[in-house]
Structure 1
Amino acid sequence: MKKIKIKCKNKLKSLKLKWKVFAYLLGFCGIFITILWTFQVLFLEEFYIQVRKVEVNKAIDAVNETFMTDEMFTVINDLAQNQEIFVTILDSYNNVLYGEAMSSRFEHLYQINLPQNNKNKQQTIRFNQTLITEDGVQYELYFNALLSPVAATVSTLGVQLLYITVIMIIFSIILALFIAKRISSPIEQLNERAKALAKGNYEPTFNGMGFKEISELSDTLNYTTAELSKVENLRKELIANISHDLRTPLTLITGYAEMMRDLPDENNVENAQIIIDETTRLTTLVNDLLDLSKLQSGALQLSLSTFNFTASIKSVIKRVNELVKKEGYHIEFQYEEELTILADEVKLSQVFYNLLINAIHYTGPEKKVVVVQTQHDQQVKIQVIDFGEGIEESQLPYIWQRYYKIDKTHKRAIAGTGIGLSIVKQIVELHSGQYGVNSKVGEGSTFWFSVPQQ
């Protein structure tokens, strides 16, 4: 039995949505028809008898309330004429006090109430009750409710229900097919286009119609398609830019090495230093790519220690100054006091280094960068301010995303790798810190990050 149930469940799961909807609607129709046949045919007589018993009980209460009053006869007449419930009243000597005085239309019916005369074979429900008045007189009340034959009614209902069953099954099949198609058709279209999306085809658009949920799903998939398309384009740009950044130092290293080999006069310290610098640049690029990969995969762990954060900032500024001072760049550091924090010194130095190199790259003709250190509510904040062209407001929410690049024309940076902001985002989040950028077109940008002191 368990194997059969499992097979049935597996078959039901393998059905398409439209056939599941079809099966559910037909099942509902079948249950409804079964209930209808059960109550209208099989148990009709039982229900009818129970209803008549309730009516007789109410009649007994009505007669008891009006017993031996003028209103009693009116109540008894109404019961006989409207509900076919007949009442016979006998005294203690079995004399009929009420029952024979009725009209000839009901006279023969009242005869069956008498205990000594019951020749009528029609089905009835009978109740009797003994009442004793205040003066000690005893009365017997007999209630006789006729039961109408239900066999003919059941037969008639059976024929009617047969027609109703056929009509409902046909109607349910048509309705089930219509609803199933209406629901499944847009989902099947979305499914086919989603398969194309999974293969890297971002051109199809999702047009879900008919239901609010399908329309919302369609909008979500369209948004996802647009975002994936952007990411794919940015990824291609990043690969092209990184390929350029990798090829440039390799070309220089090869060129200078061949020159030093072929021309003895060029075998000097200056050319050797160029090769060393380009090798360092290449190593930095590869290390940054590895760090970004580790950060995004969650494989990189922080090495926390307490250190002088201000001194670390000064050290990075000094190192960068050595790289850019020949180009005329000036870096200004503003702070009120030296601050100590608990963090990963190497990683936070990398965060600041990447922001500083980014500012130098975009600072504009003034070639000035301002670094500001502040402290508030146990949070240390570093701001790196450049005075370049600035960033459009519409682009600000996206600059921290993977592969995003504001300047679509790639040029070789003075230092760094061009993927610094992605690394900044990941490292600051690992420190439970915050990051952001404020910018105005034509005035420059302020990149900042803050981390807890403890």
Structure 2
Amino acid sequence: MLVLLWLFQTVFLESFYKAIKTQNIKSTAENITTNINNENLDTLLSTLAQRNDTCIRIVDENFANLYSYETTFECTIHKMGVGEMEAFRQKARQEGGTAFELISRDVMQEFRGKVEKKGWNMPPPGGNMRVENMVYVRLVERADGSQVMVMLNSTITPVGATVETLRIQLIYVTVILLVLCVGLALLLSRQISKPIIRINRSAKELAKGQYDTTFSGGGYREISELTDTLNYAAKELSKVEGLRRELIANISHDLRTPLTMITGYAEVMRDIPGENTPENVQIIIDEAKRLTDLVNDLMDISKLQSGAMTLSLSECNLTETVRDIMARYMKLTEQDGYHIKFICDGEAMVSADEIKISQVIYNLINNAINYTGPDKNVTVCQSVRDGFVKLEIIDTGDGIAPEEIPYIWDRYYKVDKAHKRAMIGTGLGLSIVKNILDLHGGAYGVISTVGQGSIFWFELNTLEPKKLK
């Protein structure tokens, strides 16, 4: 801005001044031309001459004055002889009816008093002063067919003193503005940098694992928003860290229990005669399978969340898949008194990865068995409508609090903070269910009321059912 001020107020000031004066004298000539036949032309010319500080002279074809208004001393057009006026007329005819020229004249010493009144730069005593006049001539034809020559003269005031005055003012303005700008820049930089420094310091603490770090910003809106975002991120990281530790504790428990049983039964079979029985061997096999299931679930959840697992879609009978899974729970129902029912309203054919959908159903039933009420009732309901099949797994347990429901699908989240070893499965089931159903594009959810059990459900698109043989 300072550079622009310097350029416009000093370097280009004279050019702008001349351009404005040129436009003004041409506009005055156009106004006179338009009103050349007006009966009030005399009044109009007087007004224009006084308002624009312009000399006006209109002569006929013989250069006799028709109108004459002299508003400045040393007016060029009023000092012209017949020869000069004829030269201007010839020039105007050659240039399409108008002629424009800048004429410089020396102002004689006898006009010194008039110059002083004008406030112009004064020459040394006894010297002359150079004044530049702008002369504009236009040939105009009147209504009676006669041609007149409109002559305008405008004096260009020397701007040297003005430029020097402006230059001195701009020097002061520049110095003051630079000082203010430097001071303002330092103030703003300090206001901006202080909260950023505090945020940076807190971020380093967060990077060291101190998740209770609080970010304090303030000041500008963007910094306040960044502070809120970082505080939220620190809070979420703290939750994840807590859940990670809990998961490690849970998995350690799940690994330690079967390993302890395997080790214990193996030592019994080694040290005590007659204990090498099929029953003891079967226990060792069962616990080894439990370890395998845990490892497989951990691998599955990692693949699902990283996007490495893909689907192998095929046409399958969802109803038959549920029946096959229910058969696997027969021994459990016989030994531990669980009552698991399957209710369906027909066969449902879907396009899905049968193995992974089986894993979804298995994990949901296993979750219901783990958390059902003292009556040990679990109900699986299948309903087909409007091109969808809906599967609901219902338990009679304690239910889930409303504030806990959004988090039950999380990878590390457990509603029951006191670890309970799953009778079947590993405790990662719901996270696996969520990711598999997301891959299939199926809807899913849970309906739960504290003290009245829970209903876990999911939906898939159905295909035309085939006739069963």
User: Is the shorter-chain TM-score for this pair beyond 0.5, marking a shared fold?
Assistant: yes
Match for residue 277 of structure 2? 268
Moved more, 253-262 or 126-135: 126-135
By how many angstroms is 1:289 displaced? Answer: 1.0
The aligned amino acid for 1:71 is N
| 1:47 lines up with 2:19 in the alignment | no
Match for residue 20 of structure 1? none
Alignment of 1:132-171 (within 5 A): 132-171=141-180
Matched residues in 2 for 1:412 and 1:154: separation?
93
Alignment of 1:177-216 (within 5 A): 177-216=186-225
By how many angstroms is 1:119 displaced? Answer: 9.1
By how many angstroms is 1:284 displaced? Answer: 1.1
Residue 113 of structure 1 contacts residue 143 of structure 1 at CA under 8 Å; is this kept in 2?
no
Percent identity over the alignment is 48
Matched residues in 1 for 2:13 and 2:74: separation?
29
- Going from structure 1 to structure 2, the CA distance change for 1:119 and 1:39 (only over 3 Å counts) comes to closer
Residue 389 of structure 2 contacts residue 459 of structure 2 at CA under 8 Å; is this kept in 1?
yes
Matched residues in 1 for 2:273 and 2:156: separation?
129
Match for residue 42 of structure 2? 73
What SS is found at the alignment partner of 1:326?
A: helix
By how many angstroms is 1:165 displaced? Answer: 1.2
- Going from structure 1 to structure 2, the CA distance change for 1:269 and 1:68 (only over 3 Å counts) comes to closer
Matched residues in 1 for 2:146 and 2:424: separation?
122
Matched residues in 2 for 1:108 and 1:146: separation?
9
Match for residue 218 of structure 1? 227
- Going from structure 1 to structure 2, the CA distance change for 1:137 and 1:285 (only over 3 Å counts) comes to closer
Residue 59 of structure 2, aligned match among 90, 96, 103: 90
What SS is found at the alignment partner of 1:94?
A: coil
Residue 385 of structure 1, aligned match among 370, 391, 394: 394
By how many angstroms is 1:338 displaced? Answer: 1.8
CA-to-aligned-CA distance 1:31-66 (integer Å, 9 cap, x gap): x11111111111111111110111111211232233
Residue 112 of structure 1 contacts residue 120 of structure 1 at CA under 8 Å; is this kept in 2?
no
By how many angstroms is 1:186 displaced? Answer: 2.2
Matched residues in 2 for 1:71 and 1:120: separation?
34
Match for residue 2 of structure 2? 33
CA-to-aligned-CA distance 1:191-233 (integer Å, 9 cap, x gap): 3322322332211112231222222222222222111111110
Matched residues in 1 for 2:132 and 2:409: separation?
90
What SS is found at the alignment partner of 2:418?
A: coil
Matched residues in 2 for 1:75 and 1:142: separation?
15
- Going from structure 1 to structure 2, the CA distance change for 1:320 and 1:164 (only over 3 Å counts) comes to same
In structure 2, the gaps of 5 or more residues are 85-102, 107-130, 464-469
Quote the RMSD (CA, aligned, Å). 2.0
Alignment size in residue pairs: 420
| 1:307 lines up with 2:274 in the alignment | no
| 1:278 lines up with 2:287 in the alignment | yes
Residue 123 of structure 1 contacts residue 146 of structure 1 at CA under 8 Å; is this kept in 2?
yes
Matched residues in 2 for 1:397 and 1:112: separation?
99
By how many angstroms is 1:242 displaced? Answer: 0.4
Larger radius of gyration: 2
Residue 374 of structure 1 contacts residue 382 of structure 1 at CA under 8 Å; is this kept in 2?
yes
Match for residue 394 of structure 1? 403
CA-to-aligned-CA distance 1:372-408 (integer Å, 9 cap, x gap): 0112232222110000100000100000011000001
Matched residues in 2 for 1:391 and 1:237: separation?
19
Matched residues in 2 for 1:112 and 1:167: separation?
50
